[in-house]
Amino acid sequence: MKPHNFYAGPAILPKPVFQEAADAVLNFNGTGLSILEISHRSKEFTAVMEESQQLVKDLLNIPDTHEVLFLTGGASSQFYMTCMNILGSDQKAAYVDTGTWSTKAIKEAKNFGQIEVIASSKDQNYNYIPEIHGDCAEYRFTHITTNNTIFGTQYQNIPSLACPLVADMSSDIFSRPLNIDKYDIIYAGAQKNLGPAGVTLVILRKDILGKVERNIPTMLNYQTHIDKGSSFNTPPVFPIYVSLLSLRWLKSIGGVAEIENINSAKAGKLYQTIDDSKLFFAPVRNEDRSKMNVVFKIRNEELQDDFLRFSTESDCIGIKGHRSVGGFRASIYNAMEMDGINKLCDVINDFDQKHG
Measured in degrees and rounded to the nearest 5, phi and psi for residue 127 equal: -95, 15
As measured in angstroms, the least distance from the Cβ of 149 to ligand PLP is 3
Cβ closer to ligand PLP: 174 or 280? 174
As measured in angstroms, the least distance from the Cβ of 301 to ligand PLP is 26
As measured in angstroms, the least distance from the Cβ of 353 to ligand PLP is 34
Cβ closer to ligand PLP: 102 or 311? 102
Residue 259 contacts ligand PLP per CB under 6 A: no
Q: What angle is formed at CA 328 by the lines to CA 323 and CA 331, rounded to 5 degrees?
A: 100
- Count interface residues toward ligand PLP (CB under 6 A): 12
Q: What angle is formed at CA 198 by the lines to CA 320 and CA 40, rounded to 5 degrees?
A: 160
**Catalytic site residue 182?**
no
Indicate if the alpha-carbon torsion angle 116, 118, 124, 128 is positive or negative: negative
Q: How far is CA 287 from the centre of its chain?
A: 20
**Catalytic site residue 101?**
yes
Out of 168, 172, 184, 352, the active site residue is 168
Q: Give the integer Cα–Cα distance in Å for 167 and 89.
A: 20
As measured in angstroms, the least distance from the Cβ of 77 to ligand PLP is 7
**Catalytic site residue 192?**
yes
SS3 category, 310:
helix
As measured in angstroms, the least distance from the Cβ of 331 to ligand PLP is 10
- Strands 153-154 and 165-168: what pairing? unpaired
Among 4, 9, 239, 280, binds ligand PLP (CB under 6 A): 9
Residue 145 contacts ligand PLP per CB under 6 A: yes
Residue 174 contacts ligand PLP per CB under 6 A: no
Report the run of H or E that residue 95 belongs to, with start and end. Answer: strand 92-97
Q: Give the integer Cα–Cα distance in Å for 211 and 262.
A: 41
Answer for the pair 333, 11: CB distance below 8 angstroms, yes or no. yes
Backbone φ/ψ region at 61: left (φ over 0), alpha (ψ -120 to 50), beta: left
Binding to ligand PLP in span 38-97, by CB under 6 A = 74-76
Segment near ligand PLP (CB under 6 A); pick from 115-123, 163-171, 253-261, 345-353:
163-171
Out of 172, 184, 192, 288, the active site residue is 192
- Strands 200-205 and 183-189: what pairing? antiparallel
Query: Residue 194 corresponds to which amino acid?
Result: L
Residue 14 contacts ligand PLP per CB under 6 A: no
Residues 6+ apart with CB under 8 A from 152: 282, 283, 284, 289, 290, 293, 294, 295, 325, 329
Cβ closer to ligand PLP: 97 or 168? 168
Among 67, 108, 168, 288, binds ligand PLP (CB under 6 A): 168
Residue 171 contacts ligand PLP per CB under 6 A: yes
Q: Per-residue string for binding with ligand PLP, 180-219, x by CB under 6 A?
A: ---------x--x---------------------------
Residue 98 contacts ligand PLP per CB under 6 A: no
Q: How many helices (H) and strands (E) does the chain have?
A: 9, 14
Cβ closer to ligand PLP: 101 or 280? 101
As measured in angstroms, the least distance from the Cβ of 326 to ligand PLP is 18
Among 95, 101, 139, 241, binds ligand PLP (CB under 6 A): 101
- Strands 183-189 and 280-281: what pairing? unpaired
Q: Helices 338-355 and 255-276 sit at what angle, rounded to 10 degrees?
A: 10
Backbone φ/ψ region at 201: left (φ over 0), alpha (ψ -120 to 50), beta: beta
Residues of the shown chain interacting with ligand PLP in the complex, contacts defined by CB under 6 A: 9, 74-76, 101, 145, 149, 168, 170-171, 189, 192
Indicate which residues carry an active-site annotation: 101, 168, 192
